[in-house]
């Protein structure tokens, strides 16, 4: 992993405008998001790097999307007030308008681009998995997923736009040298696909 690709130690690059200090309560969806944060943590899909989990998970809302905060530990006990709702993304100013006290994941603009291009996507999950990267080409033979053309600087507008474009209509994309993104019509679909890819990579590595 090149330095520019490493999430750990890199702070978000965008500006944040807090419109409220708490997100709107969405108890069922936020509980499900917390459960998937716990699953990613337990399955090693968001490994701790530099004291924070490398990964970010979101679901769509009428105004935008609710996403995990940057530099946080993903776990099932994460408080709903730790989540942040992004209600406006200003790409000209590179600024996000949010509800919540926290700062949205440094990959929030990638989530924003995917929701803009993929009207069918209700959830976007991103994680890191060394085995999935190692077995990316084999996984692409078995699953309807895309592979990014190359690794590139993480967290930039260009990275967000290009990765969302490369995802196209696929359910998943593996970002070479970095990690993976899955999308789904709901959180369970995005999460289940991530787990399936991970478990297949474990099987391939054990052969
Ligand atoms: Zn990442």
List the domain boundaries for the chain. Answer: 11-206
CA 54 – ligand 1 centroid, Å: 6
**Token pair belonging to 178:** 């970095």
Cα of 128 from ligand 1 centre, angstroms: 6
In a 3-state reduction of DSSP, which class is residue 11?
coil
pLDDT at 67 over 80: yes
Band (1; pLDDT cuts 50, 70, 90): very low
- The partner residues of 99 in beta bridges, in order of sequence, read 20, 85
- Distance (angstroms) between ligand 1 centre and the Cα of 55 equals 5
Ligand 1 center–CA 207 separation, angstroms: 27
Distance between alpha carbon 52 and the CA centroid of its chain, in Å?
A: 14
11-206 under CATH 3.40.225.10, yes or no: yes
Give strand pairing partners of 95: 15, 90
Share of the chain above pLDDT 70, in %: 93
Residues 6+ apart with CB under 8 A from 196: 143
């Amino acid at each position: 992993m090149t330095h520019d690709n490493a999430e750990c130690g890199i702070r978000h690059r965008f500006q944040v405008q807090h419109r409220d200090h708490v997100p709107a309560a969405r108890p069922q969806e936020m509980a499900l998001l917390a459960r998937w944060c716990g699953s990613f943590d337990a399955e090693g899909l968001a490994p701790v790097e530099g004291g924070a989990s490398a990964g970010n998970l979101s679901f769509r809302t009428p105004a935008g999307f609710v996403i995990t905060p940057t530099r946080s530990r993903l776990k099932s006990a994460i408080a709903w007030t730790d989540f942040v709702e992004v209600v406006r993304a200003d790409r000209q100013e590179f600024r996000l308008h949010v509800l919540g006290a926290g700062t949205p994941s440094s990959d929030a603009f990638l989530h924003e681009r995917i929701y803009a291009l993929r009207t069918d996507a209700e959830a976007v999950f991103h994680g890191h998995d060394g085995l999935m990267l190692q077995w990316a080409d084999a996984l692409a033979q078995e699953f309807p997923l895309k592979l990014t053309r190359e690794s590139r600087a993480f967290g930039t507008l260009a990275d967000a736009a290009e990765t969302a474009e490369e995802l196209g209509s696929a359910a998943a994309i593996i970002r070479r040298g970095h990690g993976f993104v899955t999308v789904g019509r709901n959180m369970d679909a995005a999460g289940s696909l991530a787990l399936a890819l991970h478990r297949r990579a474990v099987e391939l590595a054990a052969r």
